[in-house]
Structure 1
Amino acid sequence: MSANFENYRREYTAGGLAAADLRESPIAQFEHWLEQAIKAGLSDPTAMALSTIDNEGRPWQRIVLLKGLSDGGFVFYTNFGSDKAIAMDANPKVSLLFPWNELDRQVIVGGTAKRMSLAESATYFLSRPRESQIAAWASRQSRPIAKRALLEEEVRKLRQKFADGDVPVPDFWGGYRVQPERIEFWQGGEHRLHDRFRYLRDDAAGTWDLSQLQP
């Protein structure tokens, strides 16, 4: 069985992007676009595809949610035993993709993932809904399970275990911050003449160099 999608196409008409439109800082530019994505009503504007390379050189992607942003980088949380955490601990070079298709936009971030401090991770964990806290304890993320009922039973046991107090922060769970080294902003254009701008970090100068790329 095969399928052919060569004739499936559409024009990108949401608008162009010029250097004059861009902020000096790519973090400020990202915040501006994220705010527009939120105002446009995108269902998951903070969803991003995280790409990693494991210790055998195999790439993998999955969707995670952006939970924090600063000049220091892009923050998300996970189980330290998950496939992504194991891959990042072996090779911290990662990529993030924000696919804002409804706006004919995407943002690609390349950088280095580093574990956040226990205090930072605890602050976020304690702000989560209680059921999400319990789910973090129940799931040994990425590990095989015979059937879903076993996971649901573990959740039930943990609800009972923590019924009389706060849910403690698991020592196998926490945050990563992706420190960006390059960030690309892509705006779809008519006739495939897209607009692409890339910021590259100049560590020595502590600044960002901006260049326009051909589509």
Structure 2
Amino acid sequence: MKFHGYYLPISDRKPIVEKRLVNSAEHFYGVAAQPGTSDTAPPEWMPSSLHDNMAVLSRFEVDLPMSDAVEDTEEPISAILLNQRYRNHLIGYFSWVSSYQKQREYQATVPLVHVPHEAFNQWEDYASDRILDHYVEPVFSKDEQEALRAFRDVWNSASDDTPQRLPSLEELIGTEPWERLRIAAEKALEVFIRRGLFDWDREDFPMH
């Protein structure tokens, strides 16, 4: 599997200050984080429940080592609540990847971000192969787990069928691999939207 854009090895990127993503699912599940990209306000179409919680379009980046970036005062959260939050992130992700209009809105809102690269990189942040096994019931239904893996397969094929340095969004829209990815996101969103967003701060599936 090849990585797009900012996920290239550090030696292959421009000599800028390295930034590290601290709210990716891989970080919280103990897997090394990848360098991040964007730090901007989410567009209006992003679900309001995500706006104030480092939503999928406002990923928190710092110029500090990972160990210094996490707030020491933050209370640990349960696996249930953690999965609820990342499930909400995934709904936001599928929402914009499934729509050419929303992709264009994203690009217009944050023109310095390369939206095609984000479509690949954000999936790696929240649902890479190394963390999919953590997305289990009761937060992720069986249908949702299957939808994630079905999208993952299409994501892999679209990655294989597109160049590592992706062209602009407008050049990709309408191409077969990009349409394949959009349709896969649309199908996944249809599954996830059946139960909708879960609470950010309270477990919807208390264990006691």
TM-score bracket, normalised by the shorter chain, equals: under 0.3
Which structure dedicates a bigger proportion of its chain to helix? 2
Q: Given the two structures, how large is their TM-score scaled by the length of structure 1?
A: 0.24
Which structure dedicates a bigger proportion of its chain to strand? 1
Q: Given the two structures, how large is their TM-score scaled by the length of structure 2?
A: 0.25
Larger radius of gyration: 1
